A and B are shown apart, each in its own frame.
Chain A
Amino acid sequence: DGGITQSPKYLFRKEGQNVTLSCEQNLNHDAMYWYRQDPGQGLRLIYYSQIVNDFQKGDIAEGYSVSREKKESFPLTVTSAQKNPTAFYLCASSPGQGDYEQFFGPGTRLTVL
């Protein structure tokens, strides 16, 4: 399953609280991604990063923030501005430089009460 990890597997938070989801990879991949998956839905891109200290908004970035201070790490913060944060969050990485295959982490299921 590659070397990409996410923690925790399940996360519960009260409405109005910010929460940070962890994503780490030891694959030496340049690119990292965050997706959101709702029941019966496809994967929607939240943010992606091609290189350290750089990232771009995906299709549903509102209410989320990210940082890429290290190549191995791409944490996602779900802020209180995200109106419907309960979902399954998947992190992924790809080598870059013409090698396109994405490797996914095991996911974090966030439930906001």
Chain B
Amino acid sequence: GENVEQHPSTLSVQEGDSAVIKCTYSDSASNYFPWYKQELGKRPQLIIDIRSNVGEKKDQRIAVTLNKTAKHFSLHITETQPEDSAVYFCADLTGTYKYIFGTGTRLKVLA
């Protein structure tokens, strides 16, 4: 069935370093790939997204890259700060309305 694999499950980086989280999807018809940030006990918040007709998108310190041939997409955070510490989820949209989420990456930025 459809699934999204997300790696790593935990990631610790020094403040100022970069962090990269990778997701692999299975449905070749997937056409939308969002990334969410979730702080403890809070709702997921969209931080960046990309559509299947685009290879890369950037928003200040955050970027997402998409490789449709390999069916994977990655989140890149540069110049990490302590407030970037959270759980990050990738997802893909299969069909028009059904989202499949990855299992999450707990990012810790060490001051």
- Give the interface of A toward B (CB within 8 A): 1, 31, 33, 35, 40-45, 48, 50, 56, 58, 90, 94, 96, 100-107
The answer for the CA separation of A50 and B93 in the assembled complex, in Å, is 14
Q: Is the interface of A mostly helix, strand, loop or mixed?
A: strand
Across-interface contacts of A94 in B (CB, < 8 A): 97
Contact (Cβ within 8 A) A96 B97: yes
Q: Number of B interface residues, CB 8 Å?
A: 21
CB under 8 Å from chain A, chain B span 25-83? 32, 34, 42-46, 49
Shortest CB distance A40–B (Å): 8
Contact (Cβ within 8 A) B96 A50: yes
Contacts A41-B104, A45-B101, A107-B42 aside, 9 further interface pairs with beta carbons under 8 A come to A33-B99, A41-B103, A42-B89, A42-B101, A45-B98, A96-B96, A100-B49, A102-B46, A104-B43
Contact (Cβ within 8 A) B101 A104: no
**A102: which of B42, B96, B99 is its contact (CB, 8 Å)?**
B99
Instruction: Choose among B32, B89, B96 the residue with the greatest number of A CB atoms under 10 Å from its CB.
Output: B96
